[in-house]
Amino acid sequence: MKKKIGRKFENLEKQNLRKTLFVTFAISFLAVILAMLVQLNAQSKIELCSYLDPIVIDIFALIFGLFLVIEGLARIYEHPNASLKRQFTRIIRVAMGFAILTLHIIQFVHK
């Protein structure tokens, strides 16, 4: 009896984690596409495009973006049985990290 309950709980935990990761990467993908569209559209409208930020800002932004992605994913894996609703702020954190990485990679490449 205990084995059945344990297996059901384990399957539910895996199902919640899969659903959370799917939603996380879907929203992150949308955030990356949106960030690319905004950045590339803004670049095309400016004739003399020069970013005034020093390269150090891009490096710090890359580090911060990586931190958001890694920390958010770590928290998702730390709580695999949490519902999608409870994981939502972590999902947003990961998506924001990917968007920041995208924007600053585009700016870094442009420099």
pLDDT confidence of residue 51: 58
What pTM was estimated for this model as a whole? 0.80
Q: Is the dihedral of CA 20, 22, 23, 27 positive or negative?
A: positive
pLDDT confidence of residue 62: 92
Neighbouring residues of 46: CB distance < 8 A, sequence distance ≥ 6 = none
Neighbouring residues of 62: CB distance < 8 A, sequence distance ≥ 6 = 101, 104, 105, 108
**H helix runs in the chain, sequence order:** 2-45, 55-78, 84-110
The parts of the chain modelled with pLDDT lower than 70 are 1-10, 12, 45-53, 110-111
* Per-residue tokens: 38: 């905004």
pLDDT confidence of residue 94: 97
pLDDT confidence of residue 19: 93
